[in-house]
Structure 1
Amino acid sequence: MQILSIQSAVAYGHVGNSAAVFPLQRIGVDVLPVYTVNFSNHTGYGAWRGPMISPDDVRDVITGIAERGVLGQIDAVLSGYQGDTGIADVILEAVAQVKAANPAAVYACDPVMGNAESGCFVAPAIPDLLREKVVPAADIITPNQFELGYLTGTEPDTLESTLAAADAVRALGPRTVLVTSVERPDRPADTIEMLAVDDAGAWIVRTPLLPLKANGSGDVTAALFTAHYVQGRDAAAALARTVSSVFDLLERTHASGQRELQLVAAQESYAHPRMQFEVAQVR
C-alpha cells in the first residue's frame, strides 16, 4: 500500500507527518510525505522556528512526484492540519490527479479545527473551507466530536446525536467517518470513546481516559485508521486495531512523563496491536 500524506512536519517531536509517517511505515505502508510546513517544533510550545511552505511549492513537490509516473500506485491521499487556506486547493488537485491515475484510490481528510477544551485554533477561514470544499471531496474523514459538531451545525453529545451528526456529514460526501474523543454524559467516569460509521453500520469502542494532552495523537489515529480501513474495508476491524495501537502509545507516553509522544518506543503497538478493547456494533 502507498499513501501520499500532505501534512506539516516538525524536527522536534511528533505532529503531522512527523507523527503519521513512522507508524504507517511500521505496519508496512510505503509513505510519500509532502510537507506543508517545516517547523522546529509544534506550535503548542508558543514559540517555533522555520517556514510555512507556500502552496505553490507544495504543488511543485506533488508535480515532481507525478512526473515519476507513480500516481497510479497510490492507494490513498491523507491530509491533516491546513495552516494556509491555499493548501486546500493543492490537496484537492492532488486527490483529483491520484484518482484519475487510480480510480480505486481514496481521500482521507482529518478536518483539524480544534477541540472541546480549546475551541477552534485554526485560522478563521479554515473551518468554513473544510466544511464547504474539502470535506465534501473526501471519502474518509476523522473529526473529533467537537469538529463533527461544527461540520454539521449541531452539538453532538449523546450516542444518538453523534450518530445523527455522522449521518449528516456523510450526506455531504464522505462515506466513512471516524469520530474521535466521543464523550457522552452517560459513559462511565474516566473513559472516552471512538466511533466509526460507514455504509455497513456503526461501531463504538471505549477506553480509559488518560490524564494527558498528547499533541499528534490525532494524526497517528487518522493515519492508522486510514491504512487499516483501506486495506480491509472493514470499519470495525480498522477501529479495533487503531484504538489498541493509539491507547498503548498514549499509555507509554503518560508513563514516560514526557510531553512528546513516545512514537518510536511504542512501535510494536502499531505492528502487533494487543486488540484489548471490545468493539460494539451500535447500528
Structure 2
Amino acid sequence: MQGVLSIQSHVTFGHAGNSCAVFPMQRMGLEVWPIHTVHFSNHTQYPQGWRGRPMPTDQIAEVFEGLVGLGVLSDISAIVTGYIGDASQCDVIADIVSRVKAENPNCLYLCDPVMGAPDKGCIVSDGVAESLIHKLMPLADILVPNQFELSQFAGKHIASLSDAVDACQVARELGPDIVLAKHLHSVSDDCFSMVLATSEGPYLAQRPHLVFDRQPVGVGDLISAVFLAGLLSGHSPVAAFEHTHNAVYGVLQKTKALGEWELQTITAQSEFDNPSNQFRAKSIEEITI
C-alpha cells in the first residue's frame, strides 16, 4: 500500500491545505490519510474573513495514536506537512516522523514549510517559523519552500537564479536530499520559475505568468502534493518535477478560464494524469546564469 499521511490545514469551502492536496494524490493512485492542523471555514484571504481554529496539539497526537493502534505505520510510504497552526504542533509532527520512520525506514518526509510570502511577511503564529527552521526542515527528505522560506532556512538573500541555486545547495547540506524551490519571483519578471536541486544537480522549470484579479491560494500545497505523488509513482525527481510544473499550470489555466480564484482541482483533474502543457525542465548547465 502506498499510504500518505498528510498533516496540513483544512478548509470546508474551497481548496487549500488538505482540501487542495488530498484529492490530487488520490487521483494519482495513492491512499491518503489526512490529519488537520487547523479547520477553517475558508482560506484566510477572503475579505469576509473566516471562522475556525487550530486543532489542539493533543488531538493531532491522539489521531496519530489511533493509526498506531491499527498497526498501519509500516504502510505509510510518505508524510507531507504544510501549514502549522501552532508551534507546539511541530514537536508532535517531529515525533510522528520519527516513529513512522522507525517502522518504515524508506518513508519519505516532505516538508512544505509554510511561513510566509514576500508580499505578506510572516503569516503564521508566533514561534512557528523558528520551529520549522530548527526542527522540521532539517528532518525533511524533500523540502518545498517558496523564495522567502528558502532564504530563511539557508540564511541567504535571493535576488537571481544563481542565488536561488546556491540557496538550494545550502539547504540540501542542512538535511533535505531534494529541494524544490517554488515561486522564485526574483528569477524572472516574465515567468513563474521553480528550481529542483538533487544530488544529480539543479534544474529550472519556467512557464508563463497567469494574471488573476485575485491570486489563487493553495498553489504551493498543490505543487507539493503532485510532486510527492509523482515520486511515489516511480518517476525520477526530474520527471516528477516536470510533471508537477505542467499539471499545476493546467489547473491554473482552467481556473482562470472559468473566472474563479479557488483552484479548480476537480474540474481540471485530468491534468494530474496527462498535463495539457509540456514545458521542459532544463539543467542549470544548459543555462547561462
**Secondary structure of 1:205 counterpart:** strand
Q: Percent identity?
A: 40
Give a deviation string over 1:226-263, Cα, whole Å, max 9, x none: 22124436221011110111001111111111221111
**Secondary structure of 1:45 counterpart:** coil
Counterpart position of 1:260: 262
Equivalent residues of 1:74, 1:102 under 8 A apart: yes
Q: 1:37 to 1:56 in 2, by over 3 A?
A: same
Give a deviation string over 1:11-66, Cα, whole Å, max 9, x none: 10000100000000111011011111221111112521223210100110011011
Is 1:153 the counterpart of 2:150? The answer is: no
Counterpart position of 1:117: 119
Shift of 1:168: 0.9
Counterpart position of 1:209: 209
Give a deviation string over 1:138-195, Cα, whole Å, max 9, x none: 110100112111112211121211111011111111110000012345x4x5311111
Counterpart position of 1:191: 191
Give the alignment's TM-score, normalised by structure 2. 0.93
Equivalent residues of 2:38, 2:84 under 8 A apart: no
Structure 2 unmatched ranges of 5 or more: none
Taking the aligned partners of 2:39 and 2:193, their CA distance within structure 1 comes to 32
- The one-letter amino acid paired with 1:270 is F
- After TM superposition, what 4+ stretches of structure 1 lie above 4 angstroms from structure 2? none
Correspondences of 1:22-171 after superposition (within 5 Å): 22-46=23-47, 47-171=49-173
Taking the aligned partners of 2:28 and 2:17, their CA distance within structure 1 comes to 18
Counterpart position of 1:9: 10
Equivalent residues of 1:197, 1:235 under 8 A apart: no
The match for 1:175 among 166, 177, 186 is: 177
Taking the aligned partners of 1:231 and 1:53, their CA distance within structure 2 comes to 31
Q: 1:51 to 1:128 in 2, by over 3 A?
A: closer
**Secondary structure of 1:51 counterpart:** strand
Counterpart position of 1:279: 281
- The one-letter amino acid paired with 1:279 is A
**Which piece of structure 1 moves more, 113-122 or 93-102?**
113-122
Taking the aligned partners of 2:229 and 2:239, their CA distance within structure 1 comes to 11
Shift of 1:100: 0.8
Structure 1 unmatched ranges of 5 or more: none
Q: 1:89 to 1:154 in 2, by over 3 A?
A: same
Q: 1:233 to 1:252 in 2, by over 3 A?
A: closer
- The one-letter amino acid paired with 2:203 is W
Counterpart position of 1:200: 200
Is 1:237 the counterpart of 2:233? The answer is: no
- The one-letter amino acid paired with 2:7 is I
Equivalent residues of 1:240, 1:275 under 8 A apart: no
CA RMSD, 1 decimal: 1.4
- The one-letter amino acid paired with 1:139 is D
Equivalent residues of 1:241, 1:275 under 8 A apart: no
**Which piece of structure 1 moves more, 264-273 or 11-20?**
264-273
Q: 1:134 to 1:8 in 2, by over 3 A?
A: same
